[in-house]
Amino acid sequence: MQHLAALLPRVTLKQALIVGGATAPPLVGGAGVLAILLYLMAAGGTATPAPEQPIAFDHSVHAGDAAIPCEFCHRGVGTQAAATVPSVEQCMFCHSVVKTDSPQIQLLQAHWDTKTPVNWARVHRVPDHVRFVHAPHIQAGVACETCHGDVASMEEVKQVRSLAMGDCQGCHRENSASLDCATCHK
Ligand code: HEC
Ligand code: HEC
Ligand code: HEC
Ligand code: HEC
Ligand code: HEC
């Protein structure tokens, strides 16, 4: 992915959607999927650096190699505003037995023993005056990848798509979703 990103010219979402063709809605058509992939690959070259995390949690091991579904850990995503990040208890479902000799897992075990949550650093964050809700997006069939990139292959999650106002509005326009100020602003 990084190699491809380096080879591809920088393209904007708008250009990528033009490449994908105006005939198919970007979220459902094969050409649209290609357009979004092109956009994400191009955007990958300029991704915001990943913040440092208190425990070296690796999505490529869990969501990639072990193929644990995103929703197993991010339980709120299909029904509420926040996707939510799993509690230590959810990690211990496996790590009370998996890889207990690892120093990183011993760090996790210490949180479990002392009943203290892990303070994960936020990667994506809209400003306080903005209302973002996951559920309607997931219910409308927008894939995690469309907004977050190929997280299942990331060792550290970084933001790969702007998700600023123009970006939100652009996708809403393409999908006949609401453009009312009050939809996204409190
Ligand atoms: C085993 C549990 C687990 C699985 C499975 C998992 N995640 Fe995560 N995810 C986490 C944890 C823990 C964090 C917080 C640490 C971090 O950012 O890496 C996180 C963080 C994230 C973030 C960044 C949140 C922020 O702060 O902005 C995104 C986006 C994300 N996950 C998407 C996904 C997607 C998409 C999948 C499926 C392909 C997935 N996750 C699968 C546990 C999981
Ligand atoms: C469904 C089972 C499962 C869950 C739930 C799970 N993990 Fe894992 N985890 C694994 C597997 C499998 C590995 C790879 C073990 C190996 O390399 O042999 C792993 C590896 C790791 C490693 C790397 C350890 C090392 O030193 O190689 C860390 C750190 C880790 N997990 C943290 C977490 C955290 C934090 C959570 C909760 C957010 C979590 N895991 C939830 C199964 C799970
Ligand atoms: C339409 C774009 C979009 C889609 C699709 C999307 N997200 Fe997000 N995600 C965001 C935005 C924007 C934020 C920041 C929200 C905020 O600051 O309140 C975010 C934040 C997160 C967070 C951290 C904060 C939280 O909500 O707990 C996680 C974890 C996450 N997303 C996981 C996922 C997973 C897993 C999927 C797919 C099942 C997914 N997202 C689909 C845009 C999206
Ligand atoms: C990739 C496309 C895409 C992106 C990017 C996107 N959205 Fe959406 N959004 C949708 C779709 C599709 C719906 C569902 C429309 C429906 O169900 O009628 C939706 C619905 C919503 C809703 C619920 C509307 C309602 O009527 O309840 C809110 C709020 C929202 N989006 C906010 C945002 C914000 C804020 C951002 C940027 C941070 C964003 N969206 C980015 C496609 C997107
Ligand atoms: C689809 C979602 C969406 C809609 C619709 C939307 N906004 Fe926004 N808006 C955002 C997001 C996300 C941000 C924060 C990121 C940014 O500044 O681009 C934002 C930021 C802003 C800001 C702050 C800019 C700054 O520089 O701090 C203003 C002002 C604003 N919006 C006004 C409006 C008005 C007026 C409308 C209606 C015409 C509107 N927005 C419609 C998503 C939306």
Q: What DSSP letter does each residue of the chain carry, written as one string? A: -HHHHHHSPP--HHHHHHHH-SSS-TTTSHHHHHHHHHHHHHHHTTPPPPPP-SS---HIIIIIIT---HHHH-TTTTTSS------HHHHHHHHTTTTTTSHHHHHHHHHHHHT----PPPS----TTB---HHHHHHTT--HHHHH--GGG-SS----S--SHHHHHHHHHHTT----HHHHB-
**Burial readout 126-138 (b: 16 or more C-beta within 10 A, e: otherwise):** eeeeeeeebeebb
Nearest C-alpha to atom 11 of ligand 3 is from which residue? 124
The tokens 């591809």 sit on which residue? Answer: 8
Question: What is the tens place of the pLDDT at every residue in 90-130?
Answer: 999 999 999 999 999 999 999 999 999 999 999 999 999 99
Is residue 175 over pLDDT 90? Answer: yes
The tokens 């991704």 sit on which residue? Answer: 47
Nearest C-alpha to atom 37 of ligand 5 is from which residue? 181
How many angstroms separate the alpha carbon of residue 63 from the centre of ligand 3?
A: 16
Ligand 2 binding pocket includes 55 (Cβ within 6 Å): yes
Higher-confidence residue of 84 and 19: namely 84
Higher-confidence residue of 6 and 36: namely 36
Question: What is the tens place of the pLDDT at every residue in 40-89?
Answer: 444 444 568 899 999 999 999 999 999 999 999 999 999 999 999 999 99
Q: Which ligand ends up closest to the CA of 35?
A: 4
Is residue 31 over pLDDT 80? Answer: no
Mutation pick for ligand 3 pocket among 53, 70, 77, 131 (CB with most ligand atoms within 8 Å): 77
Mean residue pLDDT across the chain: 83
pTM exceeding the 0.85 threshold for the entire prediction: yes
How many angstroms separate the alpha carbon of residue 100 from the centre of ligand 1?
A: 21
How many angstroms separate the alpha carbon of residue 61 from the centre of ligand 2?
A: 7
pLDDT of residue 48: 81
How many angstroms separate the alpha carbon of residue 137 from the centre of ligand 4?
A: 6
Q: What percent of the chain has pLDDT over 70?
A: 75
Is residue 167 over pLDDT 90? Answer: yes
Nearest C-alpha to atom 12 of ligand 2 is from which residue? 66
